[in-house]
Amino acid sequence: MINQDNILILVCNGAEYQRVKKGLLNHQLLDKIILLPIGIKAVNQFLKSQHLPESSIILIGLGGSLSSSYKVGEVLIYESCSYLHKDGKLDTKYCDYDLTNYLKNKLNVSLAKGLTTDNLIHSSTEKLALNKLSNCDIVDMETYAVMSYFQSVSIIRIISDNYNDNLPDLNGAINSEGKLDILKMTMAFLKEPIKALKLIKNALISLKTLEKISQQLTIINS
Give the model's pLDDT for residue 189: 97
Task: List phi, psi (to 5°) of 78.
Answer: -75, 140
Q: Quick one: which H or E segment has residue 192?
A: none
pLDDT of residue 6: 84
Distance from C-alpha of 56 to C-alpha of 137, rounded to nearest angstrom: 24
Per-10-residue mean pLDDT for the chain, 222 residues long?
A: 80 96 90 96 95 90 97 98 90 96 93 97 97 97 97 97 97 95 96 97 98 89 58
Length of the chain as a residue count = 222
Which 3 state secondary structure label does DSSP give 144?
Answer: helix
Long-range contacts of 180-184 (CB under 8 A, 24+ apart): 180/14, 180/38
Every domain of the chain and the residues it spans:
4-163+206-219
How many Å is the maximal CA-CA distance in the chain? 50
The reported pTM is 0.95
For 157, the 3-state DSSP assignment is strand
Instruction: Assess if CATH 3.40.50.1580 describes domain 4-163+206-219.
Output: yes
**Measured between alpha carbons, how far is 151 from 6 in angstroms, rounded to an integer?**
13
- Cα distance between residue 81 and residue 84, in whole Å: 10
Phi-psi region of 165 (alpha: psi -120 to 50; beta: other; left: phi over 0): beta
Contact 157, 136 (CB under 8 A): no
List, for residues 52-81, the tens digit of each pLDDT value.
888 899 999 999 999 999 999 999 999 999
Nearest CA-CA partner of 111 in 138, 143, 78: 78
Other C-beta atoms closer than 10 Å to the C-beta of 175 total 14
Q: What tens digit of pLDDT does each residue of 97-125 get?
A: 999 999 999 999 999 999 999 999 999 99
**pLDDT at residue 220 in the model:** 72
Task: Output the pLDDT for position 4.
Answer: 72
Rounded to whole angstroms, how far apart are CA atoms 53 and 92? 24
Q: Tell me, what amino acid is at 26? A: N
How many Å separate Cα 165 from the centre of its chain?
A: 18
Q: Report angle CA 62, 64, 69 to the nearest 5 degrees.
A: 115
